[in-house]
Structure 1
C-alpha cells in the first residue's frame, strides 16, 4: 500500500478555505441586510415622515370641543332668570389606577378618600368592584375648590370632568316663559328653546395630545368658539311674581283646573308678565308633570265669550248700525228652535248698559243687522286668528272663520257673543292692548324693547275711545266687572263666561271665566287678560272668579311702575 502524507494536508487546507468562503458569504449577506434595513429606514424617515407622524397622532391625540358658557337670561331690570354655573365630577379608571398605584398603601388615595368624604375602605371596595372597567364615577357635582384639591394629588387614573349646570332662581314663577335646557345645554322649552342658538353660541375645536400615561402634554386650537349671548326679556320679575301668586290663589279658591294671565305694556307691546297654573320647577324637571310644562298662555285656545262684545260694538258704530244714544230691545227672542236670552231679563238697554250688563240679546240683534264680513274683518284687525310672532315655539294662532261662506242667523248671533272663534290668553291680552292704544296695533315682544315702537292704526280711534269709556262703566257698581275696581285707578274691563266644548263638539256644563281690560282709563298703560279654566266652586262667572284677581294684579302692577293714580 502506497501512503501519500501530503494528501491529508491538502484536504485540511481545502476544508478551511471552504469554511472561510462560506463565512465571508454569510457576513456579506448580513451586512447587505443591515445596509438594506438602514436604507429602508432612511427612506421611510425621509419620504414617509408625515405618514408616520399622522399614525402617531392617531394613537396619542384626540379632537375635543371647546365649550362656550351658555348665555344668561335676565329680566328687564337685570334680574337673573337663568344662569349657568360649573360643577365637577370625579371619575376613576380602575384598570389604570390599579396598574400604576399601590392603592392600599398610597397616601394620595387616603387623602382622596378624605377630600370626597368617603371612607377609605369604601373607596377601595369601589375600585376593586370595578377593576375590569375603564370608567366609573366616584363623586358628582362637587365644587371648584374640591376639584382643585383633587387635581393637586395627581393620582394616575383619577380624572376630573367639568360640567355646566343650568339654574333658575325663580323656578315655578318664570318657568313657562324661560323654559329649561337639558344637561347638554340644549334648550327644550320656552326662551331656552326658541333662542337656543343665541344662548348656546358655537363650540370650537382643539386637538389634545396625550402621553402613554393618558396625561395631556399639548393642546392646539383648531377653530375658535363663537361666544354665546345673554338675553334680556321684557318680563318684569316683580310683576311676574305678583301675577303668579294672585293667579295661584284664584285657582285654589275657585278649585279650577288651570289658569293663565298675560300683562302687556301698551305703548311698546312688551309682555311684562305671563304666568300659568299649574306650573313646574325647571331645576328639577324629572319631577314635573307633562301637563304642567305646557305654556297655556300661548298654546291653549278658547272661545272668548262676552270679552269680544266691545269689538262688535266698535264695528257697529263704524258701520252706522248703531249710534252712541241707540236703545236696544233686550227681551228674549227666538231663532228657529233656539232662544237668545240674558242671565237677567231687561226691557231695553242703551249701548253703555249693553256692555255693562253684558247682554247677549242686544249684541245678537246688533250683529244680525250687519254684514257678517264686517264682524269677521274687525275681529281680524284686533289680532284674532293671527299668530302674535313673539318668537316662542308652540304658539297657537287661534281661529277666526274668515273663509266660512254660509252663516245661519243663529251662528251670527252666537258669533257676536264669543262662540265660533278661538283665542289664546295672549291674543286676548293683545286685543285689549290695541283697544288701550286707541286702535293702534303694536307688535308684541317678549324681548325688552329699547326704542320707540311705531304702530299701525287698524281701527278708527274715534270709535275705539267711545267703547273704551263704555268699558269703564263695567267696573262700576252694577257692572259685571265691578269686583275688578281698584282704589286708585280707573279700570276699563270686560268679563266673560263660556261653556266648554268636549271632544264630541258638544257644549257641557264646564266653564271658562274671563276678565280682560286696561288701566288707567285716563291714559292706558297696561292691558291685562285673565283666563280661569273650569272653576268648580259655586262661583264660575268671569265677574266673580276672574275680575277680582284682575283688579288685584292691576292695582299692584301700576303701583310698582309708579303710574300716577287717576281716581281723585
Structure 2
C-alpha cells in the first residue's frame, strides 16, 4: 500500500531547515573554539607572568635558615652558654578541627587545659598563625606531632642553655625567647655571637607543608665563639664562699672580683643576689645586674693605700715619716673627723695599719690640692673601664676645683667618691704590678697588656710591705691571711649612703688584697652589702672570704707558697 504523497515532506521542504541548524551548530562550535583559543592566548601570553607569579606565591617560599649562635666558654674551654636544637609548635587556627576529642588530646599533649587551648584558638581565629608551644625538646614535641592533628606544624629553632646557671649569670647574661642577647656578654657581643641567617627556596602546599626543597639561596653563617677570661673553677668557689657569708650575716648582697695581677684578666666575678638564666619564668629582676661592673659605692678605707701612693711619690714623705694624730680627732669646716681611738704619733705605715682617718687627712692637706685627684684619675677612677660590658659604671670623681679642706681630707680616706668593685680591683693592680695599672679584661687575652705606669716601682713595693703588715696576726686584716702565702691588703667599713644621707645602722664591709706578696698573681676585692646579723667590720666579714677564696685559688693555679715558715 502506498502512502499518499501529501502526507510525506519533500526533500525540498526539509533541506533548508537542516542546513540552517548545521550552520548554526558549526557557528557555535567556532565561537567556542575562538573563545577557548583566545583564553589560552590570554593565559599563556598576556597574563602569563601575572598568573605564574600568583602560582609561585602560593607554592614557592623563601625560608629562613636559623644561624647557630656561637658558644661562650671559660678560659679553659668550659661551656658557659651553648645552643641546643629545639622544636617550636605552631598552628593555623583556621585548619584546626572542631572535634572536641581531637582538641582535648592536643591540649593534653601540650600540657595545657582544653579551656585554655580553646581560648587561644578563639583569640587567633581570624589569623593563619599562632604558637602552641615554643622551644620544646624534640622528645617533648614528638607526642604532639604523633597525633597528626590537622593544622599543627613544627618549626626547628635553637635554645640557649647555661650550664653554670646562677654562678656566672650576671657576667654571661641571657638571651630572650628569640635568641637575642638581653643582658651581659650575650648583649655586649650579640652581633658577633648571633651569626647571619641563611635562606632557601622551597615548594609548599596550600597547608604549608614542605613538598620540595629547591635550592639554597644563602648559606647560614654560624655565630662566632667567645672565650672569657673567667676560670670556672674559681668562679664556682667564689660564688659559694660569697653566698655563705651573705647567708651567715643576713646581708642584702655581695660582690667579688678576682683579677690576674699580671694581665688584668677577670678570673672570677660574682654577685648576689643572682638568678637562674635557664628558668626565665622565675627570673628575679633584682639579680639581673652585674653589680661588680654597673653599681658604685663609697669605698672607704680601702682607698687609703691609693691616696698614700700620691704622698709617697713626693720627697717629703717616706713610709717612716711620723704624723701626729692626737687627740684622735680634728675639726675641718665644721666637720669632725675621728679615729677609733687616739693613736698619737704614727708613721705613714702606721696610719695604714691602724686605718687612721686623722692621719690620712693631715697627709692629704700637706699635698697639692689636685695630687690625690690626679692619682685616682690615673688609676682609672671616674672613667669607664672600657670592657664593653653593657651599663659599666664610670663612678664619681669630682673635679678638684675650689675644694674645701674637709673635701680634700674625706677623699683621702674614701668618702665623697664612688667606684665599682671592678674599678677598685683594677686600681690595686698598680700596687701588685710594679706601679703599672692594668685595665680589666673580660675576654681571654692572647698577650698581656703593657699597662700604664701610674706610680714608681719603689712606691708600689713600699705599699706592698705596708699592706702586708695589715694582714699579720693581731692586725685589723689578720683574718685575710692565707696559710703558706704572704698576703697584702686593706680593710674597709663604710656607712651606706642614700638620698636621705648616711645610714646609721647600714654598712658595707670591704677587703681589697693581693697575693702572694713575693710575686703577685691575684688581686681580689670583696664587698658585702649591709650585713645585718653579727659583725659588720670589713676585717671581720669580708676579710675571711678573701682568705678562703684566694687560698684555694692559689692552690688551683699551682702557685708555690712563699711564706718563710711554710718553706722550712
TM band (smaller chain): 0.7 to 0.9
What's the counterpart of residue 182 of structure 2? 188
Contact map agreement 1:356 1:478 (CA 8 A) in 2: no
Give the SS at the match of 1:282: coil
129 and 268 in structure 1: CA distance in 2 versus 1, 3 angstrom threshold: closer
What's the counterpart of residue 302 of structure 1? 297
What's the counterpart of residue 85 of structure 1? 84
Quote the offset at 1:411 in angstroms. Answer: 1.0
**Any residues of structure 2 matched to 1:381-400 within 5 Å, and which?**
381-400=378-397
Selected match of 2:319 from 317, 320, 324: 324
What's the counterpart of residue 71 of structure 2? 72
**Any residues of structure 2 matched to 1:205-220 within 5 Å, and which?**
205-212=199-206, 214-219=208-213, 220=215
Contact map agreement 2:91 2:130 (CA 8 A) in 1: yes
Alignment size in residue pairs: 550
How far, CA to CA, are the matches of 1:414 and 1:146 in structure 2?
62
Quote the offset at 1:116 in angstroms. Answer: 11
Report whether the alignment pairs 1:221 with 2:211.
Answer: no
Report whether the alignment pairs 1:61 with 2:56.
Answer: no
How far, CA to CA, are the matches of 2:357 and 2:118 in structure 1?
77
What's the counterpart of residue 373 of structure 2? 376
What's the counterpart of residue 34 of structure 1? 33
Contact map agreement 2:426 2:438 (CA 8 A) in 1: no
Report whether the alignment pairs 1:263 with 2:261.
Answer: no
Give the SS at the match of 1:260: strand
Q: Unpaired segments of 5 or more residues in structure 1?
A: none
Contact map agreement 1:321 1:369 (CA 8 A) in 2: no
Give the SS at the match of 1:81: strand
Give the SS at the match of 2:385: coil
What's the counterpart of residue 561 of structure 1? 557
How far, CA to CA, are the matches of 1:103 and 1:413 in structure 2?
79
Quote the offset at 1:136 in angstroms. Answer: 7.4
Q: Deviations over 1:170-223 (max 9, x none)?
A: 211111111111221011111111111122111112233112454311233222
Quote the offset at 1:446 in angstroms. Answer: 0.9
Contact map agreement 1:307 1:515 (CA 8 A) in 2: yes
15 and 506 in structure 1: CA distance in 2 versus 1, 3 angstrom threshold: farther
How far, CA to CA, are the matches of 2:63 and 2:174 in structure 1?
26
How far, CA to CA, are the matches of 2:227 and 2:258 in structure 1?
17
Quote the offset at 1:453 in angstroms. Answer: 2.6
Q: Deviations over 1:297-320 (max 9, x none)?
A: 111111111111112211112123
460 and 235 in structure 1: CA distance in 2 versus 1, 3 angstrom threshold: same
Quote the offset at 1:461 in angstroms. Answer: 1.4
Contact map agreement 1:116 1:139 (CA 8 A) in 2: no
Contact map agreement 1:501 1:508 (CA 8 A) in 2: no
Quote the offset at 1:46 in angstroms. Answer: 3.6
How far, CA to CA, are the matches of 1:346 and 1:458 in structure 2?
31
Give the SS at the match of 2:474: coil
Selected match of 2:472 from 473, 476, 500: 476
Give the alignment's TM-score, normalised by structure 2.
0.88
How far, CA to CA, are the matches of 1:288 and 1:50 in structure 2?
54
How far, CA to CA, are the matches of 1:396 and 1:518 in structure 2?
24
Q: Deviations over 1:235-257 (max 9, x none)?
A: 11110111111111111222211
Quote the offset at 1:103 in angstroms. Answer: 11
Contact map agreement 2:66 2:157 (CA 8 A) in 1: no
Quote the offset at 1:433 in angstroms. Answer: 1.6
How far, CA to CA, are the matches of 1:210 and 1:542 in structure 2?
68
Give the alignment's TM-score, normalised by structure 1.
0.88
Contact map agreement 2:97 2:150 (CA 8 A) in 1: no
Q: Deviations over 1:13-38 (max 9, x none)?
A: 68963774475256335414422431
97 and 341 in structure 1: CA distance in 2 versus 1, 3 angstrom threshold: closer
Contact map agreement 1:94 1:128 (CA 8 A) in 2: no
What's the counterpart of residue 539 of structure 2? 543
Report whether the alignment pairs 1:334 with 2:328.
Answer: no
**Which region of structure 1 is more displaced relative to structure 2, 386-395 or 531-540?**
531-540
Superposition CA RMSD, Å:
3.4
How far, CA to CA, are the matches of 1:345 and 1:300 in structure 2?
35
Quote the offset at 1:463 in angstroms. Answer: 1.2
Contact map agreement 1:321 1:370 (CA 8 A) in 2: no
Q: Unpaired segments of 5 or more residues in structure 2?
A: none
How far, CA to CA, are the matches of 2:109 and 2:294 in structure 1?
49
